[in-house]
Structure 1
Amino acid sequence: MLKRTYSHILGYTGNMLIGFSIVLMIPVIFCFLYPDEWKNSWYFVESSVITFIIGFALRYPNKTDKNNVLTVKEGAIVVLLVWTLNILFSALPFMFSHTLNFTQAVFEATSGWTTTGLTVVDVTKISKLLLIWRSLMQYFGGAGFAIIVTSSIIGPAGFGFYHAEGRTDNLLPNVKKSAKMIMLIYGTYAILGMFFYVLAGMKFFDAFNHSLTALATGGFSTRVNSIGEFNSKTIEFITIILMVLGTTGFGVHFTLWKGDFKTFIKNPEPWLLFSLILFFTPFVTNNLSSIFPNFSEAFRHSLFQDISALTGTGFSTVSFNNWPGFSMMALIILMIIGGGMDSTSGGLKLYRVFVLLKLIVIEVTSFFLPKNVVKSYVVWKGQMKRIIDSSTIKEILLIFALYFITYITGVMILLGHGYSVMDSLFEFASALSTVGLSVGITTPNAPISVLWTETVGMFLGRLEFMVVLYALAKMFRDIDILIMERKETKRIKSD
């Protein structure tokens, strides 16, 4: 039974890698637009061939059954394997081109696939193909590469992947249709973003990359000073729209696409998103008034950075070197809260925060009610009304606990390297919540242990802990079962 299960798992992993080998070839297409880049295309061709060979080696001896439905725990193992292998193979072009060493390349690839945006490359010195590759990693990482390839290759088995990926809203009756709908929504927004960026004065290359990474709430930029280098209020406004679209859950988007505005306004996440922005922006604006020439500039940069932090995008328009402590703490809080469930954002997620806030209100108000009165606890999520039971609350509290345990551990490691408390709190919140804003800790010259600490933080933050725990728990349990079976077999033979 275990042999068959893991044969399916390896087969599905092979399928994913075969699909990923095609994705690795996408940057080569841009050589027709930028002929000088043909010399850099071989880095992607070589990476694609290696990925295909390994994918085929896993797929060929392990036939998959299209009618087999993976459990969430089995799906978690595949997601863990695929994300790990995708990151490693995505790092190859950086290493083959001698742009980055192994640690740096894995860091950059992890930052890309987890839609974080922290970077160790000098964007002024690397090839256009590598810049495009960074943006594509964030785009596919945001959409959930695993669910896209799964839905197109292995049919019903995709159920386990879809939910292991952190998606809980089935937009349509089956996973394949849901994934196609996600890509339709995602693709439409990306094209519109490119169009409006070009209208605002961006060159096509910049518009293409920034539209993908803004929508993915990723934050990789083709410019050293991010969005701030364009110094354009119009471009900043377009970016804000894309960031908000990216941080909105796909289930919420689908209600709008269906024209179901009644259901849309019942969803708490958009309300909480705008409430937090409305609450924090005035305070941060006032706090920044001393470092900007006028109120208008303080408000402009406060609004952009607040939205960038909360949505988990990581674009910036200014440096944080001279920011007051209050404003820095505000950004840290917003990064930790994070964006919407079933979106491209990281963090604790608005839905979970809302559920706990509502629980507090209900518990306080129930104190004044008769003991025999039972209040139902209902929250809208996407198209559905969900009853919040004890198991849901336990899961949320578990994720919160794992998040803060990891956060404190990461901050302590950074502190151990001599960074200040504020910088350590800020940088690791950015990594763990897959944001990408930086105070300067993340650089090519950062200690290897710092880069690996942030790499692990980004990975755990993107997969939201439970996927990793499910996968590891199942694998260790299966290993234990296998050992026991072998011992039993040996005992029987000896008898």
Structure 2
Amino acid sequence: MLLERKKTNRYSQFLRQRYRAILGYTGLIWAIAGVVILSPLLALIFYPEEINLAWGFALPGVILTIVGGLLWWFLAPKRVISLSLPEGSVIVFLAWLVAIAVGTIPFILIQGLNFTQATFESTSGWTTTGLSVVDVTQASHLVLLYRSNIELAGGGGFAIIALSAISGLSGAGLTSAEGRTEQLAPNVRRSAKLVLSIYSGYAVVGILALWIAGMGWFDAVNHSFAALSTGGFSTRTDSIGYWDSPSVEAVTIFLMILGTLNFLTSYFLLTGKFKSVIRNGEVRLMALIIPLCVLIIFFGVAVSLYDTLGKGVRVAIFEVVSALSTTGFSTVGYSDWNSLGWTIMIILMLIGGGTGATAGGIKQFRVYALYRALLWEVKRMLQPKNTVTEPNYWQGDRRSFLNDNQVRTIALFLFLYFLVFSIGVIITAAYGNPLPDSLFEYASSLSTVGLSIGVTSADAPVGLLWTQIVGMFLGRLEFFTVFVGIIRLFQDLPSILFK
């Protein structure tokens, strides 16, 4: 009995040491989130008339930065330790939960939203969804910029941002929990810095390109951030359709595709390793899906709705890329689209973008892997009984093999995804929305897309908004991170708190 008690005490001490490190690293991410909340104040240089709104950002931003900084300073270990996947999940879960909670405050203090509306807007921003309950015609420049900034930070991923600041971290638990398992360099910190460099470079190029295409500087900054993060918040009620410009649409399409590409693929593209890009399964899948769906949307929807052939082509290309990349920008409304168009858009939203990118959805790699697994299974049935085969695919610049464990994990993820999707659709329909509208709107929420056919609004029922909030949160953190983080916390807290 005494020996058992000693073992329990040793385990409790071990857990306390690990959770000191966990809280220390979480504090760093909270501090970064605090700086992001403060970042719109830089725009006061250009909009000094909005100085009276500064306290709405300064109050939550300063408090979160100080609290996070103190946790980082006092609790983070002096020698950086490796994190397991469950520990990384706890950090990511706590980081996102607090960032969203504190991120609601500017919307309440400045925009006058109630708690549910503010939580919805904050969740939509940090998770890069883009569904909105804010009237952009009544919002200040600071609030509009704040929405774009939290999308940019949420798309980059707090784990990636934090890893670039932590010297020498060799464990991949934090990046895995963020859903980014591929590295650009052998060292995690260096890989994180490369990701941030690519992301920042794209943002700057996007701002300049949109300005040249005809946007003002303020709109260009906001839409570049929203396109690269595949977030979709716009400064205009008509989104990109406000400009009705082929040049603006072309630049935005390019930025959305960059945002949905795996960062490793982007790295190969920038370094001239085109062979590695071409044989990537996700790139091949996109090269098939985009032209095919553009043709279906054009001939099945656009050609009979819009005045000119050019307008129909532009609409088909833009809306397909926006849905597949999970960005959520639009150039037209969908109320006059037929069932074929809605069905294609729902499928594209559910598929989503690249793994390890800023996009949401099921992710193209999982779809491609299941396709390879299906071919493998059919081939295995036709071959002699004792034949040993494994389907291969290219991951970066190396050949990888798909095994039964990976297929099982993907299948479990899909089961969870469609289970949550079904529950969300049922709840949405229960509030009196037609089934097609419910399917479209919750696919947009769960896949963090942001396209809407009018179900989402400031006066939507509280229960409906919270259903979408849960969907956006689970969709961005891909279920397992949330579940593992919560389960680990409930398992460990009794041992930490009580001897």
After TM superposition, the score normalised by the length of structure 1 is 0.95
Task: Establish whether residue 436 from structure 1 lines up as the match of residue 458 from structure 2.
Answer: no
Query: In structure 2, do the counterparts of structure 1 residues 63 and 307 end up closer, same or farther at CA, with 3 Å as the change threshold?
Result: closer
- State how far apart, in whole Å, the 1-side matches of 2:151 and 2:76 are: 31
1:371 aligns with 2:402: no
Percent identity, please: 42
Q: Identify which of 158, 165, 184 aligns with 1:152.
A: 165
1:433-457 alpha-carbon deviations (Å, 9 max, x no partner)? 0000001111000011111110110
**What SS is found at the alignment partner of 2:399?**
strand
Q: 2:227 matched to 1:214?
A: yes
1:471 is matched with which residue? 485
Pairing 1:414–2:431 present = no
Shift of 1:169: 0.7
Distance 1:12 1:54, change over 3 A: same
Distance of 2:47 and 2:395 partners within structure 1: 44
Report 1:235-274 matches (<5 A). 235-274=248-287
- In terms of mean alpha carbon deviation, does 216-225 or 87-96 score higher? 87-96
CA contact (8 A) 1:190 1:212 kept: yes
Match of 1:71 among 69, 84, 105: 84
Corresponding residue of 1:124: 137
* Cα distance between partner residues in 2 of 1:109 and 1:384: 39
**Could you say what secondary structure the match of 2:400 adopts?**
strand
User: Quick one: distance in 1 between partners of 2:173 and 2:400?
Assistant: 21
Q: 2:373 aligned with 1:330, yes or no?
A: no
Q: Deviations over 1:240-296 (max 9, x none)?
A: 100111000001111122221221111011111121111111111112133222433
What residue number does 1:314 align with?
A: 328
Q: Secondary structure at the match of 1:252?
A: helix
Letter in 2 for 1:183: L
* Distance in 2, Cα, partners of 1:482 & 1:34: 49
The correspondence of residues 30-429 of structure 1 with structure 2, limited to 5 A, is 30-56=43-69, 58-59=71-72, 62-153=75-166, 155-156=168-169, 159-288=172-301, 289-429=303-443
The amino acid of 1:83's aligned partner reads W
Q: SS of the residue aligned with 1:379? A: strand
Distance 1:478-1:357 versus aligned 2 partners, 3 A rule: same
Unaligned runs of 5+ in 1: 487-495
Contact 1:341 1:349 in 2 (8 A): yes
Scaled by the length of structure 2, the TM-score of the pair is 0.94
Partner of 1:489: none
Deviates more, 1:272-281 or 1:426-435: 272-281
In structure 2, distance between residues paired with 1:295 and 1:287 = 13
* Residue matched to 1:29: 42
Q: What is the rounded CA distance, in whole Å, between the counterparts of 1:196 and 1:412 in structure 2?
A: 42
Retained in 2: the 8 A contact 1:138–1:218? yes
Alignment of 1:458 with 2:475, yes or no, is no
* CA distance in structure 2 between the partners assigned to 1:219 and 1:367 by the alignment: 45
User: Closer, same or farther in 2 for the Cα pair 1:56/1:482, shift >3 Å?
Assistant: closer
What SS is found at the alignment partner of 1:341? coil
Q: Is the 8 A contact 1:267 1:381 kept in 2?
A: yes
Change (3 A) 1:428 1:283: same
Report the residue type matching 1:435 in the other structure.
V
CA shift for structure 1 position 354: 0.4
How big is the shift at 1:151? 2.8
Query: Structure 2 counterpart of 1:283, which letter?
Result: I
Deviation at 1:388, TM superposition (A): 1.1
CA distance in 2, matches of 1:280, 1:340: 17
**Bigger shift: 176-185 or 20-29?**
20-29
Structure 2 Cα separation of the partners of residues 242 and 249 of structure 1: 13
Q: Secondary structure at the match of 1:115?
A: coil
CA distance in 2, matches of 1:35, 1:74: 44
> Measured at CA, do residues 383 and 112 of structure 1 come closer, stay the same or move farther in structure 2, by a change above 3 Å?
farther
Distance 1:157 1:263, change over 3 A: closer
In the alignment, is the contact (CA less than 8 A) between 1:21 and 1:51 conserved in 2? yes
Q: SS of 2:169's equivalent?
A: helix
- Higher mean alpha-carbon deviation, 423-432 vs 372-381, is at 372-381
User: Is contact 1:252–1:383 with CA below 8 Å preserved after alignment?
Assistant: no
C-alpha distance in structure 2 between counterparts of 1:206 and 1:161, whole Å = 34
SS in structure 2 at match of 1:385? strand
Deviation sequence 1:166-223 (CA, Å, 0-9, x none): 0011111111111110111111111111111111111000001101100111100000
Q: Say if 2:36 and 2:150, in contact at 8 Å, map to a contact too.
A: no
Deviation at 1:482, TM superposition (A): 5.8
Q: Give the number of equivalent residue pairs.
A: 485
Contact conserved, 1:249 with 1:382, CA < 8 A, in 2?
no
Alpha-carbon distance in 2 for matches of 1:6, 1:326: 51
Query: Offset of 1:154 from its aligned partner?
Result: 5.7
Does the 8 Å CA contact 2:16/2:496 hold for their aligned counterparts? no
Q: Offset at 1:395?
A: 1.1
Match of 1:492 in 2: none
Counterpart contact for 1:379–1:388, Cα < 8 Å = yes
CA deviations on 1:342-396 (whole Å, 9 max, x unpaired) are 0011111111100101111122123222223222221112233221111111111
| Structure 2 contact 22–76 (Cα < 8 Å) conserved | no
Which has the larger displacement, 36-45 or 425-434?
Answer: 36-45
CA contact (8 A) 1:305 1:316 kept: yes
Range moving further from structure 2, 377-386 or 108-117: 377-386
How far did 1:48 drift?
1.4
Displacement of 1:56? 4.5
Asked if 2 retains the 8 angstrom alpha-carbon contact of 1:347 and 1:432, the reply is yes
Q: Distance in 1 between matches of 2:339 and 2:24?
A: 51
Partner letter of residue 283 of structure 2? P
Q: How much does 1:98 deviate? A: 4.2
The structural deviation recorded for 1:163 is 1.2
Unaligned runs of 5+ in 2: 1-13
Q: Quick check: 1:99–1:126 contact (8 Å CA) kept in 2?
A: no
